[in-house]
Amino acid sequence: MTPPDTPLIPSRREVRRKDRRDAILSVAQVYFLEHGFADTTMSGIAAELGGSKGTLWKYFPSKEALFAAVVERAAKAYQGRLSQILDPHGSLEPTLQSACRSLIEKVTSPDASALHRLIVAQGRRFPELSKIFFDLAPQNTRLLLADFLHGAMTRGQLRSADPIDAARALLSLSLSGCHQQMLIGRIDRPAPNEIAADAAFAVDIFLRAYAPQSRPQPDAAIV
Amino acid sequence: MTPPDTPLIPSRREVRRKDRRDAILSVAQVYFLEHGFADTTMSGIAAELGGSKGTLWKYFPSKEALFAAVVERAAKAYQGRLSQILDPHGSLEPTLQSACRSLIEKVTSPDASALHRLIVAQGRRFPELSKIFFDLAPQNTRLLLADFLHGAMTRGQLRSADPIDAARALLSLSLSGCHQQMLIGRIDRPAPNEIAADAAFAVDIFLRAYAPQSRPQPDAAIV
DNA sequence: GAAATAGCGTACTCTATGGTACGATTTTAT
DNA sequence: ATAAAATCGTACCATAGAGTACGCTATTTC
């Protein structure tokens, strides 16, 4: 009865297939993040999955394809929920600080930094993947933040300037502490108070540099 | 005659050996930078070298050992000559700008960024190497710069603050442009004017944030 | 000049792993 | 119920590359 001939109602097979595919990606992601590209084995993934190798190749025609799928999926999941925090009605400094804190927290999670490492590592082999990832993740965050800063500028809370540049400055300041340490491998996880300190530092510098009508008087020559 | 029994006079053999070792490292470096760790083959290095594989293992007991040696050597070579540029007598802004420019230039050279990528990529497998590298390279630069900034602070050219933090801020601002783009793989080489622009931007923000006695309060009027 | 040493070339072993083949079994669709 | 599709398990293939063995030659030392 009611033959589901439209693609709108996914058949049981299709559902199952999607589930299976997702399961594969999850297992693969763990492996890739943990071991990197070269040291992840298809056999290992298949074993962990419980299925057979043949099935694996039925879903992904090669290791590279699987890797690409993992990265794309992870990149999408990476997208930040920064927008909620960036409330234009709150007062500026606390808003920025909590935004930065939240960003740093996210970006210093073990998964996120492992992903970052992985992408950078394979940047030569999969240049398109880097692009996808960095378009989805940092680029997106920057735009969100730039938009917010633009608002603050028009409200006179900040001096007028290129909001994209301003966002870049704030972001890079935010990530110059724990995050760097993590990527370097010098620390495993930042302490919460370090995150707060990084955020406070970044916002402090940022606000000094972008205070309304603040113009430093040293030897001019700023074009 | 005059048997050179002291180790001070290196025998011809020792010289030769050192040369050979260095040649191996050079070839290996090219390979590693170009292909990463996993995709560099010992056989390939041996072939390029012209020698035999046996010789290779006579110098380095394993691929990992060779890799470590390459990184250590490269890291040492990486150390910056920033000190010459940081002349305490010049006026502040141009000095900082040229220092930043020079840094960005160095750090965005294909070799440097390939090295950076390599280290980050292998950070899990060789944590000690990351430490060596990042102690030698950015850490060193930061200290040099911090020292200079400290001087500028005591001379009243900058407000008093933690010079290390200040150096961190300036560096992270400097590297937030082309350098990021490069690591991401979005560009291959930065145009010279982009480098200058990045430096100018960083120094501008930095000077605004670290201007002497500049407080974000608009009504200042403090001498 | 003789002994030690280093290096060369080549062939070889061993292991890991991406990817395939295939018959048996289960699940889904009708 | 029955045919088609998906999965499973397992054995297998092909390749690649780290590391070894070994006999021959060139260089260095004394």
pLDDT digits (tens, 9 = 90+) for B97-144: 999 999 999 999 988 988 988 888 888 888 889 888 888 888 889 999
CA distance, residue B3 to nearest chain A CA (Å): 49
CA-to-C1' distance for B209 and C1, Å?
Answer: 78
Give the closest of A201, A213, A221 to B93, CB-based. A221
- Cβ < 7 Å from strand C, A residues 145-184: none
Angle at B168 between CA A79 and CA A205, to 5 degrees: 75
* Residue B176 contacts A where some CB pair is shorter than 8 Å: yes
As a whole number of angstroms, the distance between CA B97 and CA B85 comes to: 10
Cβ-count burial A117-156 (b if 16+ within 10 Å, e if not): bbbbbbbbebeebbbbbbebbbebbbebbbebbbebbeee
Confidence of residue B213 (pLDDT cuts 50, 70, 90): confident
> Is the pLDDT at B53 greater than 60, yes or no?
yes
Secondary structure (3-state) at A86:
coil
pLDDT digits (tens, 9 = 90+) for A20-60: 999 999 999 999 999 999 999 999 999 998 889 999 999 99
| A121 to B120: CB separation less than 8 angstroms, yes or no | yes
Question: Mean pLDDT score of chain A, rounded to an integer?
Answer: 88
> Is the pLDDT at B3 greater than 90, yes or no?
no
| B211 to A216: CB separation less than 8 angstroms, yes or no | yes
| B186 to A130: CB separation less than 8 angstroms, yes or no | yes
User: Which residue has the least CA–C1' distance to nucleotide C20?
Assistant: A54
Rounded to 10°, the helix B192-210/B163-174 angle is 150
* Residue A172 contacts B where some CB pair is shorter than 8 Å: yes
Q: Which helix (H) or strand (E) holds A81?
A: none
A-proximal residues of B, 101-130, CB under 8 Å: 117, 120-124, 127, 130
| B169 to A168: CB separation less than 8 angstroms, yes or no | no
Query: Hey, which CATH number is domain A12-71, 1.10.3720.10, 1.10.10.60, 1.10.579.10, 3.40.50.1950?
Result: 1.10.10.60
Radius of gyration over every alpha carbon of chain B, rounded to an integer in angstroms: 22
- Chain C: bases < 7 Å from a protein Cβ: 5-11, 16-23, 27-30
Angle at A169 between CA A75 and CA B135, to 5 degrees: 80
Query: Hey, which CATH number is domain B12-76, 3.40.50.300, 1.10.287.110, 1.10.10.60, 2.40.30.10?
Result: 1.10.10.60
As a whole number of angstroms, the distance between CA B47 and CA B21 comes to: 15
Confidence of residue A104 (pLDDT cuts 50, 70, 90): very high
CA-to-C1' distance for A80 and C13, Å?
Answer: 52
Question: What tokens appear for A119 in the block?
Answer: 């992408």
> Is the pLDDT at A188 greater than 70, yes or no?
yes
**What's the pLDDT at B161?**
97
Q: Which class does domain A79-210 fall in?
A: mainly alpha
CB under 8 Å to B99, separation ≥6 — which residues? B82, B85, B86, B145, B148
Question: Testing the interface with B: which of A134, A140, A187, A214 to mutate, by most B Cβ within 10 A?
Answer: A214
**Phi and psi at residue B105, in whole multiples of 5°?**
-55, -50
> Is the pLDDT at A3 greater than 70, yes or no?
no
What are the domain boundaries of chain A? 12-71, 79-210
Mean pLDDT (whole number) for B75-87: 82
Q: Pick the residue from chain A with its C-alpha nearest to B168.
A: A176
